[in-house]
Amino acid sequence: MKLYMTPGSCSTGIHILLEELDRPFEAYIVNLPAGDQYRADYLAINPKSTIPTLVRDDGSALTEFQAIAWWLARTNPKAKLLPDDPDGEARVIEVMDYVVGTIHMQGFARLFTTSNFTPTEADHNSVKARGMEIVEKGYAVMNDVLAGKEYVAGRFSIADAALFYVEFWGDKLKIALPANCQAHYQRMLARPVVQRVLREEGYR
């Protein structure tokens, strides 16, 4: 398989899952600031111009974090990256959707790509402030989800890989994580696979 990724991005979560599964794959770096996502060769693989993209053994490409994570879990059932019961699986997907769709795409996106939300530079500070509000509310929601648990579903699941990457971003931006999120983040950082992935992506 081939993973098209950008170090330190949402694709880090998929990188972690692939390493947890010990699945062989080739990593291809997509340089977002340089505009690699708009190159013709990448558009031929993923016309959405997004990351991550996973090209599977049959040559078909799968996009969107939640879809890739769910497919990896369902095609590797022995790894138990999803709960066995329908309600547990739904809760994991619920968390992934909120992390990616809200904390990332509504919150951090306003911090990282402010100009996409307003053409007026004078409005940038207010856009960033709104982004921070969304991120902090998101952390508070996740803090409640994690109450009394080491991981989102009790044991490590695909939702934890999603939550980790937004916790990682918060750490890099010096945003204080609430207690349960901080404990989860440290627990994830202690996993040997996460340590290896961060080293491979250029982080200490």
In this prediction, residue 204 carries a pLDDT of: 77
From first to last of its 204 residues, what are the pLDDT tens digits of the chain?
999 999 999 999 999 999 999 989 999 999 999 999 999 999 999 999 999 999 999 999 999 999 999 999 999 999 999 999 999 999 999 999 999 999 999 999 999 999 999 999 999 999 999 999 999 999 999 999 999 999 999 999 999 999 999 999 999 999 999 999 999 999 999 999 999 999 999 997
Q: How many CB atoms lie within 10 A of CB 37?
A: 18
Q: Report the alpha-carbon distance of residue 178 to residue 180 in Å, rounded.
A: 6
Range of the domain at 106: 86-191
Phi-psi region of 46 (alpha: psi -120 to 50; beta: other; left: phi over 0): beta
Structural domain contains residue 18: yes
168 and 93 in a common domain: yes
H helices of 24-176, where? 40-43, 65-74, 86-98, 109-112, 124-145, 158-172
95 and 187 in a common domain: yes
CATH classification at residue 11: 3.40.30.10
